[in-house]
A = this chain, B = another copy of it.
C-alpha cells in the first residue's frame, strides 16, 4: 500500500461512502473480489491467516491508500481488512473499474504499474528485513511510516499509529517484547519517543542510519 494511484482523478468521483467503527471488517479473507476501496479517513490493517493458523499483519492503510489490490489476482480477498479506529472508505466497484479501464487505457496501465512497483517494493523490503536485526527493522519501519505521513501532508515527525505493539511486531516478524525493548532503547538514545500509540521522531538522521545499516557486522 502507499501507492501514488490517488493521482487519478476519476477514482475520486464516488458518492458511496462507508463508515466503519473500530474492529469492523471491510471485507473478510476468502470473500470474492467485489472492488477496491479508497481510505478517506481513519486507518485499517490487513490480516492474513495462513493454513497453519498463524495470523499475520500484512499491510497498513492510511487515508489516501487503496485497499484490496492484492485481491485482483485470485478474485478473492487474501486477507481480512479491519478498521483500527473510526474509518470511512469509498468503494470502487469492479464494474466501474472495468468501465474506466476501457475508457482510459492509461488507468489500466497505471494500475499495472502500481502493482509491478509493489512486487518490487515488497520483494526488496522484506528480503532486506530478513537479514536485519530488530533495531534495524524498527528503524526502517518508522522511517517508512514517517515518509508516508509526509507524502500525505501530515507531520512526518509526530503522528499517531493506530497499530498496537502486537500489530507492529507481527508486521515486522518480531515478538511484542522485542519491539517494546527496542522502542525503550530508541527512547534512551533519543531517537524516537512514544507514549502509547503517539510517536515523536527526534533524530531522523539517526533513524535513517540505523535503518540502512543491517545491524550486523559484515556489510554484505
Contact = CB atoms under 8 A, between A and B. Distances in A.
Interface residues of A, number: 48
A72 interface: yes
Interface stretch (A14-22, A119-127, A145-153, A188-196): A119-127
Interface stretch (A50-58, A82-90, A179-187): A50-58
B116 A116 contact: no
A2 B71 CA distance: 18
Nearest to A48: B124
Contact of A128 (B56, B102, B122, B124): B56
Contacts of A51: 212
Contacts of A80: none
B58 A117 contact: no
Interface stretch (A37-45, A105-113, A157-165, A198-206): A105-113
A139 interface: no
